[in-house]
């Protein structure tokens, strides 16, 4: 109940912010990206953090969400919510398919297989003229703004709703049988099986949910940029960020990826504006190396240690 009240307050805050006048439009533009990373980091953590299966194929899921939205918009002028729903469903289906093919593999073999999915899908999109192929596709935003002043503000609020939804799902999973089973898989898959955990089934469920959430994070992207092209959509830096943010925040709890994403994505946006766009991934990379060496359990681990030492 307390959590639901917090969520309602947060969403009200976002609604108020996006309705306020006198705020530079760039705030919402950057806010959209930060919230998108909250979803991506949270989604990655469901499989990567809870179960210990490192998915490097994040751009594939984002792209399925984004290109599904493009196809739905171009073919039937589908509204934004239908685009998001469609993107989520197809990305979830991709998660299930990739899971069926790869989740019997463990460790590095699974990770390599997920990278392969990115290259396969990028090749398909590069040769698919309906969605613009390698050169991309320009999109005209619809005039439907609900009651917002601009489309960017509306997308910012939609992303906030999706982020809260994603975090709520991750939190529910963590406290459920599924979360307990995934943690058991991460600690010892063989012992988990012998304790009655249907390991393949729960990994498939996690991969599907994780994929679907990445898909819904990608679906509003074409409308956000009014443009889509494969090189940036399938950029592997999404994988580095989606992996780095939970590791920096802490993978053991649903709040870890949220902390990591808010800190890092905000820092990235500041670096983009004040220094250079090229330094974005470097920021994540340097922090990732530092945290892996100094605090492998992330910020949450540091807080836990600090609490224990102050007792």
Partner 1 sequence: METILEVNNVIKQFGGFTALSEVNLHVNKGERLGLIGPNGSGKTTLINCISGAYTDYQGSIRFDGGDITLLKAHERTKRGIARSFQIPRPFSSMTVMENLLVPFAFVGGKDGPEQQKEAMAILQGMGLAEKAFVQSNQLSQVELRKMELARAMAAKPKLLISDEAMAGLSGTEVDEVLEILFDLNKLGITIIMIEHIMQAVMKFSQRVVCLDAGKIICEGTPEIIVKNPEVQRAYLGD
Interface characters, 161-200, with partner 1 (x: CB under 8 A)? ----------------x--xx-xx-xxx-xxxxxxxxxxx
Shortest distance, CB of residue 91 to partner 1, whole angstroms?
28
Q: Do 261 and 38 touch, CB atoms closer than 8 A?
A: yes
Site residues for partner 1, 81-140, by CB under 8 A, read none
**What is the phi/psi pair of residue 190, to 5°?**
-70, -45
Nearest to 258 by CA among 8, 32, 44, 4: 44
Token representation of residue 58: 């994040």
Tell me how crowded residue 150 is: count the other CB atoms within 10 A of its CB. Answer: 14
Nearer to partner 1 by Cβ, of 190 and 278: the residue is 190
Nearer to partner 1 by Cβ, of 149 and 297: the residue is 297
Shortest distance, CB of residue 238 to partner 1, whole angstroms?
27
Shortest distance, CB of residue 273 to partner 1, whole angstroms?
39
How many residues of this chain interact with partner 1, rule: CB under 8 A?
A: 20
Interface characters, 194-233, with partner 1 (x: CB under 8 A)? xxxxxxx---------------------------------
Q: Would you say the C-alpha torsion 241, 41, 34, 294 has a positive or negative sign?
A: negative
Interface characters, 241-260, with partner 1 (x: CB under 8 A)? -----------x--------
Nearer to partner 1 by Cβ, of 81 and 191: the residue is 191
Nearer to partner 1 by Cβ, of 179 and 211: the residue is 179
Element (H, E) at 89: helix 80-102
Nearer to partner 1 by Cβ, of 51 and 72: the residue is 51
Shortest distance, CB of residue 145 to partner 1, whole angstroms?
46
Report the C-alpha gap between 308 and 303 in whole angstroms: 9
Report the C-alpha gap between 91 and 37 in whole angstroms: 17
| Residues present in the chain in total | 311
Nearer to partner 1 by Cβ, of 149 and 193: the residue is 193
Q: Which value, in Å, is the radius of gyration of the alpha carbons in the chain? A: 19
Nearer to partner 1 by Cβ, of 12 and 191: the residue is 191
Shortest distance, CB of residue 49 to partner 1, whole angstroms?
11
Q: Do 200 and 100 touch, CB atoms closer than 8 A?
A: no
Shortest distance, CB of residue 80 to partner 1, whole angstroms?
39
Helices and strands of the chain, counted as H and E runs: 15, 2
Nearer to partner 1 by Cβ, of 46 and 91: the residue is 46
Site residues for partner 1, 252-311, by CB under 8 A, read 252
The beta strand positions in the chain, using DSSP E, are 137-138, 227-228
Q: Do 254 and 174 touch, CB atoms closer than 8 A?
A: yes
Beta carbons within 8 Å of 127's beta carbon, 6+ residues apart:
133, 134
Shortest distance, CB of residue 118 to partner 1, whole angstroms?
30
Give residues in contact with partner 1 (CB under 8 A): 177, 180-181, 183-184, 186-188, 190-200, 252
């Amino acid at each position: 109940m307390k959590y639901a009240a917090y969520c309602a307050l947060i969403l009200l805050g976002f609604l108020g912010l996006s309705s306020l006048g006198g705020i530079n439009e760039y705030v919402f533009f950057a806010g959209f990206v930060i919230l998108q990373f909250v979803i991506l980091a949270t989604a990655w953590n469901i499989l990567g953090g809870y179960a210990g299966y490192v998915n490097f194929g994040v751009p594939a899921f984002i792209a399925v969400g984004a290109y599904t939205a493009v196809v739905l918009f171009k073919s039937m002028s589908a509204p934004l919510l239908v685009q998001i729903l469609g993107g989520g469903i197809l990305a979830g289906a991709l998660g299930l398919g990739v899971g069926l093919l790869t989740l019997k593999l463990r460790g590095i073999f699974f990770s390599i297989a997920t990278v392969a999915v990115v290259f396969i899908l990028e090749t398909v999109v590069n040769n698919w003229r309906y969605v613009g192929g390698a050169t991309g596709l320009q999109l005209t935003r619809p005039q439907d703004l609900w009651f917002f002043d601009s489309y960017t503000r509306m997308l910012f609020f939609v992303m906030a709703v999706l982020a809260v939804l994603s975090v709520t799902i991750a939190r529910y999973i963590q406290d459920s049988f599924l979360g307990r089973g995934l943690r058991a898989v991460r600690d010892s898959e063989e012992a988990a099986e012998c304790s009655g955990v249907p390991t393949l089934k729960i990994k498939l469920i996690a991969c599907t949910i994780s994929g679907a959430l990445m898909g819904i994070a990608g679906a509003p992207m074409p409308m956000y940029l009014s443009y889509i092209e494969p090189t940036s959509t399938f950029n592997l830096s999404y994988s580095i960020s989606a992996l780095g943010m939970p590791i920096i925040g802490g993978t053991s709890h649903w709040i870890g990826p949220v902390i990591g994403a808010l800190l890092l994505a905000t820092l990235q946006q500041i670096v983009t504006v004040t220094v250079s766009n090229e330094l974005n991934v470097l920021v994540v990379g340097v922090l990732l190396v530092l945290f892996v060496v100094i605090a492998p359990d992330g910020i949450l681990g540091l807080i836990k240690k600090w609490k224990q030492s102050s007792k």
